[in-house]
Homo-oligomer: A and B are copies of this chain.
């Protein structure tokens, strides 16, 4: 807990702590927190951090701007389980002209044990023109006041590495989108994509493995009523697990876009629950 104390001195006002309890319906059949629910809590933590520093969607909407999640990457050594009290810390690692990097630390609120970390990349767009805003000049660069460089507050997981190139052998599932899939803007919500992707895997995948690392890149919006095409394939076997790549496309086979437009791309690193004897 020494690191924690140092952080306090360095300016805790840059870090927001968000707390949640792992509810009964928020764990999967193995008793572990659903990835989608964790993702939702991370986005809530991000929302509170932004809001409390004058950068929330509620402030920005007045000025016709909104945050858009571009990438999310979660890596956990251990998964929160039913009734665990979880604390999420979130902070901004860097700000560039068009993107900002926001990191997360996820720990057990009672024991302090760290489950893992997450990284995310966000852009800000003008909701009318859909053009990206310049983060460095908006509000006179106010956002820079909240940056904590990696040297001061490390996020010890790799940055995004997803190189997704689906082959012709990828399995494809067609999914219709419905009422429950969409958010207040009528877009399929970022979390539902995660659920649809994990629903591609059979029961035995979750029995034999747990997810060590999950990366997702949001490339385009899809809307209520769109038909989505979910592609997935094993990229490589690793000594203690499996790596899958996956992609969601829409308008598959539409004449002008024969391959379909890419909506999201993902990479999932599965780790054996138990190491099998050689």
Contact = CB atoms under 8 A, between A and B. Distances in A.
27 contacts: A23-B40, A24-B43, A24-B47, A24-B57, A24-B184, A25-B40, A25-B43, A25-B183, A25-B191, A28-B182, A29-B179, A29-B183, A29-B185, A29-B186, A29-B224, A31-B184, A36-B180, A58-B83, A82-B184, A178-B199, A178-B200, A179-B199, A179-B201, A179-B203, A180-B198, A180-B199, A181-B199
Interface of A: 23-25, 27-31, 34, 36, 40, 43-44, 47, 57-58, 82-83, 178-186, 189-191, 195, 198-201, 203, 206, 224-225
Q: How many copies of this kind of chain does the complex include?
A: 2
A195 B29 CA distance: 19
Contacts of A47: 24
Given A23-B44, A25-B43, A40-B23, A203 B184 contact: no
Given A29-B183, A180-B195, 12 more contacts: A28-B179, A28-B180, A28-B182, A28-B184, A29-B179, A29-B182, A29-B186, A29-B224, A34-B180, A179-B201, A179-B206, A180-B198
